[in-house]
Structure 1
Amino acid sequence: MLKPMLACCKIYISESRNKAALKAIERAAKLCSEARIVNKYEDETYNRVGYTLVSKLRPSSSLDSCPLKDAALAMVATAFKNIDFDTHSGTHPRLGVVDHICFHPLANTSLEQTANVAKSLASDVGKILEVPTYLYGAAHENGRTLDSIRRELGYFSPNIQGNVWAGGLKSQDLPLAPDEGPSQADSSKGVIVIGTTKWVDNYNVPVFSTNISAVRRIAKRVSERGGGLPAVQAMALVHEEGVIEVACNLLDPQLVGGEKVQDEVERLAVEEGMVAVKGYFTDFSRDKIIKMFLEEGN
């Protein structure tokens, strides 16, 4: 008996407070019965929600009828109908109503296969929904990275006073040409970034502080870019009163996992005269997601 080919995509939507919009997005996903949402992570301070959508892939099927792509496209289209980027605000950076989608191979599936799904979705988002779309990772011909796109589009700089991102993009004109869709952005929708990579864990460590500059120093020293832990990306984000999080992408969890990041943030926090508390993952592990999907399907 052939083992099932499984893949997932993580869909990050710039909204967590509009419950009616989220319910509509979730209903749209359910219209494709072969794909299932196995995790939903909401953060009201960040005003952001992350969905983990999983489906089997068909080895010889056309991408025109791929359940994972179809469900993702339905969720994206519904998000654009129900959320106005111009009225959005939160303490997490974002580039659009649907900020980011990343495909990951899970079981018996290759990176190339998930890249093909990502590229097909990006084409539909660009042509059908008419939203500027950027590709990264294995979905991009040169393997462009997610953070490089974000830096060129100003993702990491709060766009109003303080540490808050609010409203749509400052200009319809984009400093980086999209891979799909129009060359200008509708401020009510923004842009979307779609890619595919090996599995990534997201791990956030709260630090008791109001000194964003100091916690940014910690985040930089934790990240590979700042000479810290390999395969770790990190940024400092105001989360709640008196708490700033070091939000980390663990690009190779087998090499550097949450425990190593936790230890390093705690050590650096002490050097800054601060206290870091136990962090948390925003999703289940890859193995847990596979198990949950297969068990729920029985």
Structure 2
Amino acid sequence: MGAPLVECVPNFSEGRRPEVVASIVAAIEHALGQPILDQHLDPDHHRSVITFAGSPEAVRAAAIAGLAQAVECLDLSRHQGVHPRIGVVDVVPFIPVRGVTMADCVALAHQVSQQVSARHGLPVFCYGEAVRQAVYRDLAAIRRAVRTVPTFPTPDYGPPRPHPTAGAVAIGARDYLIAFNVELETDALDIARSIARELRAAQGGLPGVKALGLHLASRGTVQVSCNLTDVRRTHPADVFHAVVAAAKRHGVRVGRPELVGLVPTPDSTLGFDAATQASLFPDEKILSRRLRLE
């Protein structure tokens, strides 16, 4: 069956200084004992998404090391970006890949939460399958509470106040997720937001889809930014074709699609024409092939 494998995909609130992200990656790789699988930087989101995998113990150490480096070199009070975030490390999910159960990843999430809250004085909210307060199962609920509640919400670990420069962090366990964005050839943010509403599962759209309409200042366009949380029922191609259809109704054209991170299996790539499939999903973007699970 092979050695146990856990995937981790932390999101850091830095997308404009590659050298700073490189220092975070270096800390992760040193603790992990091997290279990361992928990194994605976006200056408009002002966010980087780092993907790595390994044994549960190695991944635990790497997540703690990456978070420590981010707390040291990032400052949330100076951060401006279009993507929602609650801290310099916004979210740290653990995903079971092979020989590991979801319960194992929940335990891992709680271990990391205890260690980073104690070491850095950082408030930690647990989400997904690692949730401790039912209201915070969904990551968006944590962000809403941190942003809108008059007093800082009670975290699961750490002090009941944000860290002065690092904010807070959400740490959890979940199944595979695909982050997939589609750019529109317009700067009309209301159109992107309207299409995002159409796509959201919560508003009757595609199963397992969460979506936002965002402005990309560096490109002079807008984007429909999506998380696909049910990758067995909804593939990136389903989202892309839905955006194309909705954009046509609004009288705008669709620009380039964008994959953030990796997809779990080749099945995730189905539904695109051959050229798009080849450019969006080379073998290095397919987790099962990177880890030689097929």
Deviations 1:158-185 (A, max 9, x none): xxxxxxxxxxxx98x51x2111111011
8 Å contact kept, 1:35–1:71: no
Q: Superposed, which structure 2 residues align to 1:77-226 within 5 Å?
A: 77-141=68-132, 142=134, 144-154=137-147, 173-174=151-152, 176-226=153-203
Determine which structure has greater relative contact order: mean sequence separation of CA pairs < 8 Å that are 6+ residues apart, divided by chain length.
1
Deviations 1:49-90 (A, max 9, x none): 100121123xxxxxxxx2111111011001111111111112
**Structure 1 pair 21–278 and aligned structure 2 pair: CA distance change class (3 A):** closer
8 Å contact kept, 1:36–1:54: no
Instruction: Quote the Cα distance in structure 1 between the aligned partners of 2:171 and 2:223.
Output: 25
Counterpart for residue 256 of structure 1: 234
* Aligned pairs, number: 270
8 Å contact kept, 1:202–1:249: yes
8 Å contact kept, 1:106–1:286: no
- From 271, 278, 283, the equivalent of 2:261 is 283
Q: CA deviation at 1:276?
A: 1.6
Q: SS of 1:17's equivalent?
A: coil
8 Å contact kept, 1:73–1:125: yes
Q: CA deviation at 1:33?
A: 4.1
For normalisation by structure 1, the TM-score amounts to: 0.85
8 Å contact kept, 1:100–1:193: yes
- The residue type paired with residue 135 of structure 1 is C
- The residue type paired with residue 291 of structure 1 is R
**Structure 1 pair 192–104 and aligned structure 2 pair: CA distance change class (3 A):** same
8 Å contact kept, 1:34–1:55: no
Which segment is superposed worse, 286-295 or 69-78?
A: 286-295
Counterpart for residue 54 of structure 2: 55
Counterpart for residue 161 of structure 1: none
Q: Superposed, which structure 2 residues align to 1:21-32 within 5 Å?
A: 21-32=20-31
- The residue type paired with residue 67 of structure 2 is V
Instruction: Quote the Cα distance in structure 2 between the aligned partners of 1:36 and 1:182.
Output: 33
Q: SS of 2:289's equivalent?
A: helix
8 Å contact kept, 1:250–1:256: yes
Instruction: Quote the Cα distance in structure 1 between the aligned partners of 2:12 and 2:159.
Output: 21
Instruction: Quote the Cα distance in structure 2 between the aligned partners of 1:126 and 1:252.
Output: 30
Identity across the alignment (%):
25
Counterpart for residue 165 of structure 1: none
Unaligned runs of 5+ in 1: 58-65, 156-169
**Structure 1 pair 207–103 and aligned structure 2 pair: CA distance change class (3 A):** same
Unaligned runs of 5+ in 2: 266-285
Deviations 1:168-218 (A, max 9, x none): xx98x51x2111111011331111111111100011010122221221111
**Structure 1 pair 258–34 and aligned structure 2 pair: CA distance change class (3 A):** same
Instruction: Quote the Cα distance in structure 1 between the aligned partners of 2:12 and 2:200.
Output: 25
The structure with the greater share of residues assigned to helix is 2
- The residue type paired with residue 48 of structure 1 is R
For normalisation by structure 2, the TM-score amounts to: 0.86
8 Å contact kept, 1:206–1:279: yes
Q: SS of 1:29's equivalent?
A: helix
8 Å contact kept, 2:32–2:54: no
Q: SS of 2:38's equivalent?
A: strand
Q: CA deviation at 1:294?
A: 4.9
